[in-house]
Amino acid sequence: MTSTSKEAAQCHGEKKNPLEMFQSGHLVKICAPMVRYSKLAFRTLVRRYNCDLCYTPMIIAADFVRSVKARDSEFTTNQGDCPLIVQFAAKDAQLLADAATIVCPYASGIDVNCGCPQRWAMAEGYGACLINNPELVRDMVRQVRNQVDDIAFSVSIKIRIHDRLPRTIDLCRKAEATGVSWITVHGRTVEERHQPVHYDAVKIIKENVSIPVVVNGDIKSLKEAETVKQMTRTDGVMVARGLLANPAMFAGYEETPLKCIWDWVDISLEHGTPFTCFHHHLMYMMERITSKQEKRMFNALSSTSAVLDYLADHYGV
């Protein structure tokens, strides 16, 4: 799974339950699960800039349980990568519990993806279709709770909202009764993509449960994060695209500082990050600080050495 898995297990053993962060009353700043992007190297970067809690990309639980190759490619961690939540796509209670058992020594908890709106995921019975099946969500959470011995191990869910809010409130209350640690709410319906986030709906959901609620959707700065937390009375904020554009966002930077760019270079080289991932992250980070011509030049680069030369020529320190 990782060459430093023993160290990671020790790290987890020394770490507090993530629930204690929510109980502090402070804004809990969270890096969202992002396919291809929220892997170990990027989690390492955002943790340097005040990110409190990181999620892995979504992992299909069935593949993870059945294939050692899938485990080795999908889940990598190390001693500093904590607290860490492993997000699974699942539709079978036993397979989810088996996957949770595997990652328990190396992570602080798991999250069940009940919010992915992509057609392939919903066609397979994963993601946002689960918001219409609260009984299955209940069974999966219960099975994990029954099988994982570590009582501090968190089990959370990430959802989208229904067209009719009472259905979402009912889902959240049932999840709370089942023993979910917290709920992350992306404030859009399955059909909505770029429409405004329904922060008012998230606020109502928070008022109807006693467990922590995390708000997700269109947060692009620390100031926005604090405003949305106050507006919704939630316990934490989860950010995806905002952190891709500015991994130093939670440290209060309005745009990616040069130090953060060079930190990413150092971390990527240390972790052996594949070129495509290394390059794409830099494209996102430099979006706001480069001209159209510079973007065309940088985006056309095709090797790590070419990227390093470009950065040294334009942003050398």
Cβ neighbours of 196 (radius 10 Å): 10
- pLDDT tens digits for 74-98? 999 999 999 999 999 999 999 999 9
Residues with Cβ within 8 Å of residue 266, at least 6 apart in sequence:
none
Q: Report the alpha-carbon distance of residue 144 to residue 110 in Å, rounded.
A: 9
Is the per-residue pLDDT at 142 higher than 50? yes
Is the per-residue pLDDT at 209 higher than 90? yes
**Residue 96: its H or E element:** helix 93-103
Give me the active site residues, please. 116
Q: Report the alpha-carbon distance of residue 86 to residue 213 in Å, rounded.
A: 18
The tokens describing 249, both together, are 């966002």
Please tell me the pTM assigned to this model. Answer: 0.94
Counting residues of the chain whose pLDDT is more than 70, the rounded percentage is 95
- pLDDT tens digits for 8-49? 444 544 555 788 899 888 899 999 999 999 999 999 999 999
Residues 64/70, Cβ–Cβ less than 8 Å? yes
**Dihedrals phi, psi of 311, to nearest 5 degrees:** -65, -40
